[in-house]
Amino acid sequence: TKNDLRDQYPMGILACDRRDVRRVHASSGTTGKPTVVSYTQGDLDSWSECMALCLERAGMTADDVFQVILGYGLFTGALGFHYGAERLGSMVIPTGGGFTGRQIMLMEDLGTTAFTSTPSYALYLAEEIEKKGIRDRLNLRLAILGGEAWTAEMRDRIEESLGVTALDSYGLSEVIGPGVAMECPEKTGLHANWDHFLFEVVDPVTGLPVEEGQTGELVITSLTKEAMPVIRYRTRDLTRFLTCPCPCGRDDLRIDRVKGRCDDMMIIRGVNVFPSQIEAVLGQIPEVSLHYFLEVTERKGLKELTVVCENEEFLECEKKARLGQRVGKALHEVLGIRVGLRLEDPGTVERSSGKAVRIIRVEAGGER
């Protein structure tokens, strides 16, 4: 588990001589100590190969201009995509995260055809491009998105607003980084790099394998990692295996898109609630933006949930009230319980250049 890795901070579980380590990356830690992951030169070569295979599955070629809109540094995301795209032969624009105006300028000036970012940032990017009215001047055709769970409804919005094919990428720092699995343009699940990883789907509570086609926690064993191999690593990501043939012609066992994380689940008045359920509801109501967060307040041992989201346009009080009733009713029908709802004006919910913070814990007195 991740706790096991943290307990061995910084490099207590190396499977190679420290002198053979060529690079370290780290994921953020809630306890102040990050999870450090080490790589030999062989690991870095394998990582680039895995990522190049994933990008090729997504439909990228050496003719693409690929913009990496992820943070460079200790996080694995940006450099994984960067070296994979270079191995594929694509031209790479290493813009990093943030600075949205500059991102759009470089997209236009350098002829970006494909980019990678988080889904929530892609949605924000689409808003800003629409404001500038320059979508027709861009050459975008492909968005490779990951780092957070996202719904089919969010995919539809991104594709419609940017005029791209939006595909899901999966990976995690503790295993290697991005490059574990990738959707192809058929969008029927993620094709995994089985030569490098062994995958299982288990019951999150018992740890036993689930029945074929059932959702459970993804467990990964690395097969080629040298510096820090993992055996039956508990990812906390919820997914399932897909056995039906993919129209692209590949006959491998695929991984369904991640539905959420075991630790994302909220129990509200005895009902299990996942952010993905709420995002799916919001995505079906065109007047509502998919920039949102969830406030969880605990009073006298009971948790209450408030959904905070934006209208797509500025609305008069009466129209906003009617929209609120529609959204509230739709949430009730899907969740089976009534939750609080706060509709905000456009641009109110904070945008993120990285992973969006969806769940905010609020103390009974109102402090976050």
Cα angle, residue 167 at apex, residues 161 and 168 outer, rounded to 5° = 125
What CATH class does 265-362 carry?
A: alpha beta
Q: CA–CA separation, 12 vs 259, rounded Å? A: 32
* Under 8 Å between Cβ of 105 and 69: no
Token digits of residue 161: 């607003």
Q: CA–CA separation, 122 vs 340, rounded Å? A: 27
Q: CA–CA separation, 161 vs 175, rounded Å? A: 33
Q: CA–CA separation, 165 vs 161, rounded Å? A: 11
- Residue 179's pLDDT band (cuts 50, 70, 90): very high
Q: Pseudo-torsion of CA 82, 87, 90, 95, nearest 10°?
A: 10
Secondary structure (3-state) at 361: strand
Secondary structure (3-state) at 73: coil
Amino acid, single-letter form, for residue 5: L
Q: Where are the domains of the chain?
A: 2-262, 265-362
pTM over 0.75: yes
Secondary structure (3-state) at 65: strand
Q: What's the CATH number for 2-262?
A: 3.40.50.12780
Mind listing the pLDDT tens digit for each residue in 23-38?
999 986 544 678 999 9
Token digits of residue 328: 């509230």
Question: For the ranges 22-36, 114-128, 241-255, which has the lowest average pLDDT?
Answer: 22-36
- Residue 363's pLDDT band (cuts 50, 70, 90): low
Mind listing the pLDDT tens digit for each residue in 292-329?
999 999 876 778 999 999 999 999 899 999 999 999 99
Mind listing the pLDDT tens digit for each residue in 319-347?
999 999 999 999 999 998 899 999 999 99
The pLDDT value given to residue 364 = 60
Mind listing the pLDDT tens digit for each residue in 195-230?
999 999 999 989 999 999 999 999 999 999 999 999
Secondary structure (3-state) at 1: coil
Q: CA–CA separation, 237 vs 232, rounded Å? A: 13
Q: CA–CA separation, 246 vs 296, rounded Å? A: 40
Tally Cβ neighbours within 10 Å of residue 300. 5
% of the chain beyond a pLDDT of 70: 96
